[in-house]
Structure 1
Amino acid sequence: MDPPSSSSSERWLWWMDDEKKHSIADTIDIEKSEDGEKIDARKERIRDCMTVLGGFLSIMATGGAINSVGLLQTHWENNQLREYSPQTVGWIAGTNIFLSLFVPVLAGPVFDRYGHIWILAVGSGLFVVGLFIISFFDNHSAAPVTLGMMISSWGVLCGTGYGLIQTAVPGVICRRFDRRRGLANGFSSLGNSVGGVLWPMLLRVALERLGWSWSMRAIDGLALVMLAIGNGLMWGSGVPAVGIAARPEPESSDNEKNKEEQEEEGREPSLTWGQCIRDGARCFRKGDFVWMTASLAIFQFVVMGVAGTLPSWGQQQGFEDASLFFYVVAVVNAGAAAGRVVVGSISDSLGRFNSVIIVQTMVVIVGFGIWHNVGTNERLLYVFAALWGFSNGAILGLWSPLVGECVHTPAPDHIHAIIESLRLLTELVCGVSRLCDVENFGRYLSAASSVVSIAGLLCVPSSAQILGTLGPDIHVIFFGTLLILSLMFMVMARVTFTGYSFKIWRVV
């Protein structure tokens, strides 16, 4: 008697009765199906972890360099570019910061159309090449050439590369994850803080033992290895290599039908650059968004200005240990990691605006109460570094959620008639509209980034000019005044967001 060939499970049960045979075969098939689903789920979890690890390594390799810009700035001022003023040298870091913030504005539509693979590859290549080029300029014999090459390599190449990586990594994670998107993005973004701790330690040891050229080459080699591993893990994330906007359009002459099919598939029609610019300009018709963007731009100016001039400030303040600020910068970045985690976790219950206003109040106290009174006390300097980093990480970590708040439309409060009339008059005269839908989040984030990038371009040269001309005390007072102004603007953003309601206990 030949065995039947109806299924692989029944093939070995041909000698049984039909009823028993089918029952056992169904049980075996179900167990195989469940085992296959468990294996697939396990593979997906592993792929999720690899994607987050790849993003973490990519951001750590590049973000650590950006967060150590003050150490490089001081080294250039004392060695290769000592013939130039600090404000002139500051344009190297300013160009880098500007491009690292502005490139994502331009690279976002490219990511939507072409996917992440080429953006990651090009960004990693530009960053590695930029670091390798600056390793050849270790003396001051040809200062004009050195300055030009520093701006081209560190400013343009490394800044553009970092901006491209900062575009691709969050984009891949957002497409890969659904339920735990925030957690995954948080773990990957910790690479900024971890890199900010690792880079200063490596720089301190390498510069003492190897000198400038081989220090940069050694760090560049380490960055190359981390970026190669990170790229490989991100390429294997399972996210489509071609962006959403580049997928073929449905074949139909009916525009309404095309639009409905695109909405069902989660796609949006591709936009031209002119449309992107016009849409971004419309964001600034909204009062709360304008106040919030102004506050964040001023705060970014202060944060990066301090990061670029803190070691130079220490030299003028009278700290004699040259290696001290390698540790101080590491403490600042470690505090930033703690700030992102702690304040980010409690912002859901306190509200994003409330959390940022509380932290901004704290950072004003830290600036005037601790930093202004540091003198040459190293312990007090470390306390300032930890609290300063905590505040910076908390506020910059809530940047995107703040923009997300401004995208939503809040329910207006019933407030006094005079205040409501003034609000309506302001909307009529200034063109301030009610807040828009969540689908416009990317447009608002790009608009805010474009303004903040201008502050990043000017922060280090302006800070170096003030430090060199007016001294370290006025330098601290200047930044403290800007922090107060940033706090006032954020309070105005909250008031405008709540419909000019002054209820301080409201969670927003």
Structure 2
Amino acid sequence: MAVGKMAETLQAPLATDTAPSSSAQEKCDHSPDVSKLHDPEAATLGKSVSTEPLQPEPPFPEGGLQAWLVVFGAWAGLFAGLGITNTIAVFQSYISTHQLADYSESSIGWIFSLYTFLAFFCGIYIGPIFDKYGPRWLIATGVVCVVAAQMLFSICTEYWHFILVFGVLNGTGCSLLFTPCLASVGHFFRERRGFATGLASAGGSIGGIVAPLMLNSLFSNPSLGWDWGIRIYGFLCLGLLSLALIFVRSRLPPKENASIHPDPKIFKQKPFLYTTIAVFLMEFALFIPIGYISSYARAQGFSESFSFYILTIMNAGSFFGRVLPGWYADRIGAFNTNTIATFLSITACFVIWLPFGHTKPGIIVFAIVIGIAGGTNISITPVCISRLCPTESYGRYYATCFSVVSIACLIGIPIGGSIIGACDGDYWALIVFTGILYVLSFVMFLVAKSASVGWRLLAVY
């Protein structure tokens, strides 16, 4: 399966120790004082922040042909890249009953966990390289890696084949696509960043809708089967990634003197640290249904075709979760939107999946709800991160956050497989575990917001 919409200097100062405006709606600005971003004493926004006017960033285009072409290019790149991520449940379900039928769910899970780990962890260098040199060569290298991986994936037969091809080569290639595609959109939009990022990341949802249907049809065709099914999908990725290579651009000039090495000092900023923890827990939880919903459906006695279709249903929900929340996140705040989506995920796990997931209506409703919530989390998280840094450093901050999150992606699916094995193939403990992770993420999103604006629950942030 298939996720990633993945700052700015203030136009007006943020001061949490001042009285709110007399306007009917309480609103707070979105970014810290950039001059204090690397000052450990000033990094906690809950402390006093200078009320002197800050020098604003140059105006953002907020639209225009070039800006929307960048969004389109990012959409195409994420269709291919995140489309693969959003389809791992199909791959796992298929190879666990064919090429690797003698291996446990936990062992097979490591293939896809390694993929997601590298897809995010490699960004720890890719982000700073993007900030310094731009997206062109990163995307070009990613195209080569991803397309080559699909072609080799079609002829894999041994466990180590899948580890090297899908886990290492495909994971590294997708990492070269994610950060440049999402960060480039942030160069062209500020006030409409949530909406633009949501549109771009919706490509991953469309990929997650198209790929399972396409692969199910190809795999079931006797003249094509697995081999040509994967190759045809690889050619589709080649066409889409070519569009990303053509249209994705950065707006800001390269930072010639910038370091390409990670900067762990940014974790001294408490809002960024707490946000990273919240995203870590959220992605840990999210990749469990992404990785296991197809296997879960088959374990409940549903057909193999339905196990493919349930993933498509989840990705259809994710599409709406990426596009629509991006629009209202620009109005109620990215952190508020992510917090609401996380609460919706808690509800999906404990109120729908746990008691009713064994029924066809129950699992369909769960797939829709968790898809909407997960799509919102994926598209709005980059916007949350962008609120905590200047735009020219966005690639570094985004990639640093997700390099930590990659650890959750690495361990999530194998831990899920171990939980299933410990319960003799029953999924109830896995569902409870997923729900608890979402509860912890919900709490940390509230803490991250409070570190910036205090415990003002209605503040727009």
How would you bin the TM-score normalised by the shorter chain?
0.7 to 0.9
Amino acid corresponding to residue 116 of structure 1 in structure 2: P
Cα distance in 2 for partners of 1:311, 1:181 equals 33
Cα distance in 2 for partners of 1:174, 1:285 equals 24
Partners of 2:75 and 2:200 within 8 A in 1: yes
Partners of 1:120 and 1:168 within 8 A in 2: yes
Match of 1:244, SS?
coil
Cα distance change, pair 507–438 in 1 and its aligned pair in 2 (3 A): same
User: Is 1:306 aligned with 2:316?
Assistant: no
- State the Cα RMSD in Å: 2.5
Match of 1:327, SS?
helix
1:151 match: 163
Amino acid corresponding to residue 481 of structure 1 in structure 2: I
2:178 match: 166
1:489 match: 444
Unaligned runs of 5+ in 1: 1-43, 139-145, 247-268, 408-436
Query: Which structure ranks higher in relative contact order (CA pairs < 8 Å, sequence separation ≥ 6)?
Result: 2
Cα distance change, pair 287–382 in 1 and its aligned pair in 2 (3 A): same
Amino acid corresponding to residue 447 of structure 2 in structure 1: M
Cα distance in 1 for partners of 2:458, 2:195 equals 28
1:49 deviates by 4.8
Cα distance in 1 for partners of 2:108, 2:170 equals 16
Partners of 1:111 and 1:243 within 8 A in 2: no
Equivalent residue for 1:224, pick from 210, 227, 238:
238
Cα distance in 1 for partners of 2:218, 2:409 equals 28
Cα distance change, pair 226–286 in 1 and its aligned pair in 2 (3 A): closer
2:214 match: 202
Cα distance in 2 for partners of 1:441, 1:51 equals 16
Give the TM-score taking structure 1 as reference length: 0.72
Matches within 5 A, 1:58-207: 58-138=77-157, 146-175=158-187, 183-207=195-219
Instruction: Compare CA radii of gyration and give the structure with the larger one.
Output: 1
User: Is 1:396 aligned with 2:378?
Assistant: yes
Cα distance change, pair 406–174 in 1 and its aligned pair in 2 (3 A): closer
Residues 243-300 of structure 1 show CA distances to partners (whole Å, capped at 9, x for unaligned) of: 6134xxxxxxxxxxxxxxxxxxxxxx22252xx3xx3x22222333333221210110
1:339 deviates by 1.4
Unaligned runs of 5+ in 2: 1-62
Percentage of matched positions with identical amino acids: 28
Q: How many residue pairs align between the two structures?
A: 395
Partners of 2:138 and 2:180 within 8 A in 1: yes
1:46 deviates by 5.3
Amino acid corresponding to residue 304 of structure 1 in structure 2: F
Partners of 1:64 and 1:194 within 8 A in 2: yes
User: Is 1:374 aligned with 2:356?
Assistant: yes
Cα distance in 2 for partners of 1:123, 1:371 equals 36
Cα distance in 2 for partners of 1:230, 1:439 equals 21
1:52 deviates by 3.5
User: Is 1:245 aligned with 2:228?
Assistant: no
1:157 deviates by 1.1
Cα distance in 2 for partners of 1:392, 1:193 equals 10
1:464 deviates by 1.2
Partners of 1:58 and 1:230 within 8 A in 2: yes
2:258 match: 270
